[in-house]
Structure 1
Amino acid sequence: MLSVALLSTSLNLSAQDSETSQEQTGTICFIRSTGFAGSASAFKTFIDEEFVCKLNNKKYSFHEVSVGLHSCSVQFGGKKSKEKAEKFEVDVKPGEITYVQLVFETGVLINNVYCEEVTENTAKNKMEGLKEDTKCL
């Protein structure tokens, strides 16, 4: 009888640990569907100035992070977040996904790439027909 009670207590603690773990982390999802312009180059994505993924066109990637404010950025080359790369701050909530779209703008003299937070509904619509990048080289 004692072993059944210990097993039950152990299972309850494991479930609580799992819930606590989910409450302390959230997810950032980068989405890239930039169309034809710039599609030949992979974009390097960063969270808190740390390289997390090289994302090609028509791909998305998930990254588990701690809850709270995080700085996201994107650039064309290199694996170090450049100071001139436009930083975008997101507030990650416990157990939730924050969707960040990579935006590519072409201009006469300059091309610009930056991050923009989108709603879950917008993200899911954009992610249709895209593939998850699980390797993130």
Structure 2
Amino acid sequence: MADSSRGYVRDRRGCRHWGPHGAAGLLLRQDSRFLLQRRSWRIHHGRSWSIPGGALEAGESPRDGARREFEEELGVVPALRHVRTFVDDHGGWAYHTLVMDVTEPFSPRRGDGEGAAYRWCTPAEIDSLRLHPGFAATWPQLLTDLEAA
């Protein structure tokens, strides 16, 4: 059976995105730091920092897709508590950022090679990194929403 989660699509605004069913990722928070991953040079927007995530499979929920992608990229998903889901809707295509608090000690590991490195960052450190354009566009609102909660 063909993998229907692969391929680029265009949203109603004409922007190009990977994954015809949308995409999702986990933004893990531990204390006041967030886990980011530096993308491999060989993938779309390589060498930028973002969250572990990727294309949703047909019929897959954003939560299940984000957990699957995290496990592929950084190993076993730790015990988590859902904080909120931020949906960046582009009109016909959306990226779901699931913000989760880590509830047990956790050390990520490198997985499938999509990520070149990972790092726990404060919000100030995140602001100084070269971010994936999609994450860079949503990070300020995401942080504002988290600080208001």
- TM-score (structure 1 length as normaliser): 0.29
Structure with the greater alpha carbon radius of gyration: 1
**Higher strand content, 1 or 2:** 1
